[in-house]
A and B are shown apart, each in its own frame.
Chain A
């Protein structure tokens, strides 16, 4: 945008939710995009469902992600085992795994490795647990509240190859539920950083055992 005053105005408007802890209604809609995990596998439970979020909401989440990750790195709060961080890559992880295996084999050492696929880990993240971890990193309550309030009150529609569903789930319906909706949604720009930080804490706890 070329107009400086308008740019400033829109920037300030976009900052209101994170400064105040407010959840704008325009942020509280999500399209669940159903993508097949395997070609021609049409089973409903075999689909990946990333959420298409409001662009302004996700832009704000990206800013939070940057702030949290920088703070975590600065304070050495990311576990050594965690490769989901700047300056590291999936390829490095795979290479290190291979080199470790080769090293053990060359030295004829007994060793074991446990590999697990954490199914639905983003959907299982508890909001107050994530909030505690983020507070320790210096994020403010207003920023955390704004994001989690939005996720908890989000109305979801499902997009398939045919069209978007007319009926939705979520929204303010959860008031009648036993527990508020949890999880941080696949497609949330802050999601990977939250998982990295929480999993680092879990690594720390496991190391103490």
Chain B
């Protein structure tokens, strides 16, 4: 039962599906993360509306110049 708590997210979001983890990776340091943060990323066709809405963040979440993608 306890082990299930760390598996609850499975099936709940497309973000852990292979077609998106190859772009974002498990920790958000994948090859397309820069594009997502810049707003130039095109989600794969399999993406649902909810996934697209999340990846194309709304205006209140502006991309900040100090995000440190280059420090990994």
A141 cross-chain contacts in B, Cβ below 8 A: 27-29, 68-69, 71-72
| Residues of chain A with a CB closer than 8 A to B62's CB | 75, 136
Question: Are B64 and A127 in touch, CB under 8 angstroms?
Answer: no
Q: Are A32 and B2 in contact (CB under 8 A)?
A: yes
Min C-beta distance of A195 to chain B, whole Å:
13
Instruction: Given A32-B2, A132-B33, answer yes or no on A183-B8 (Cβ-Cβ < 8 Å).
Output: yes
Main DSSP-derived SS at the B contact region: loop
A124 on interface, CB distance cutoff 8 Å: yes
B residues adjacent to A (C-beta < 8 A): 1-3, 5-10, 12-13, 15-16, 20-21, 24-30, 33, 36-37, 50, 53-55, 57-58, 60-64, 66-69, 71-72
A binding-site residues for B, Cβ under 8 Å = 21, 32, 44-45, 49, 71, 75-77, 120, 123-142, 144-145, 148-149, 152, 156, 158, 169-170, 177-183, 200-201, 204-205, 207-208
